[in-house]
Chains A and B, each alone.
Chain A
Amino acid sequence: MKFNSKHTIIAWMEDKPGVLNRVAGLFRRRNFNIESLTVGHSETPGISRMTFVASGSQRELSQIQTQLDKLINITRIQDVTDEPALVRELALIKVEATGENRHEVVQMAELHRAEIVDVTIDSLVVQIVGREDRVNALVENLRHFGIIEMVRTGAVAMTRSRLKTVEEFGSNGTNQ
């Protein structure tokens, strides 16, 4: 019960003015420890979707969810930590890249399956989309060249669809 673990939680909320303020205010007031928070539209008009990563004991994490659920504008909460889920974040990393090491930076980005999205005479911007550990690995390797500037979105998450059995797909085994 006592040990801390990191959880990824999705919250759906009415898209009304001040809702993010309510959420942020709650986290601050209840002294919850939030590592990242990302909000955007969902598939339903009028409903926003937030992914946040929080760490704490089981009791603290349960408090975060029940307290959040009490906010009138929050419509649903789901902890996806122990579920099969896609968790991704995006990072833009501006790296020093002069004539001598530009090739090395490009190669490093390629090895990490990242993209070069902007080029100037003395810098490159590398973009990566992936799980947090993949982003961390790239950032660590790029530090060597000198990171000028960096921005990370924080994680967004979506549960995977349940794997369907052959029967569910239909008798011919195709997904038509």
Chain B
Amino acid sequence: MSVKTPAAIDAHHLTVRFGRETVLDDVTFSLARGEIVAVIGPNGSGKTTLLQAVLGLQPYEGIIRVFGKPVRETLGRIGYVPQRFAFDRTFPLTVGEFLRLRGAKPKHRDWRQAVLAEVNLTGGESQPVGELSGGELQRLLIANALMGEPELLLLDEPTAGVDVAGERGFYELVAHLHRSHQMTVLMVSHDLAMVARQATKIICLNRELVCFGPPAQAIAPDVLRQLYGEGAHIAAHHPH
């Protein structure tokens, strides 16, 4: 008799309310381990709220299990890259110091350097964080998430404020990490063309689950209309 491996994320009848307003209504999905899944939808559709609920940062109704357990018990297996880092650029902090802030799991210098090399941050540990470009800062946030050797990586619109070239490089890095570490990735994104190329599955949200499945099936014209209105289509980025 085989024992079924728990899914990376199981959400059943997930509902989130802000006061009287229902932000997510009865959302159910299951992510297998090793998938790279993108959450898409218009502004205010509940994408960030979904991630926050999965992390246990947002009160919800329904059931969410991460690796078959309540998220509090699996935090050590999760890496998180926030949408916006409220970082005061003028505050003195080096790249190495930033990676040591987690405190609980001190890692050796070699490990930090390996992680920095993996995300292609070559400025060294003594480089001030305030001197990093938008794309470099996002890669540092990924490095920070990787410090805990996560099995599940959650990214909340990680390329907001990053230029097109940086955005493309960033998604390639995520795909590389997904392949090399066999980690499950759940990311919120606005960039449908990137999502169509990199994701194995897509969750379409508009306060409720509009679609869930592989990109080719999920991003149908009627779904795009339902999400973004008439005239919505996927525009590919062309290299300059």
A binds B: no
Interface residues, chain A, with chain B CB atoms under 8 Å away: none
Interface residues, chain B, with chain A CB atoms under 8 Å away: none
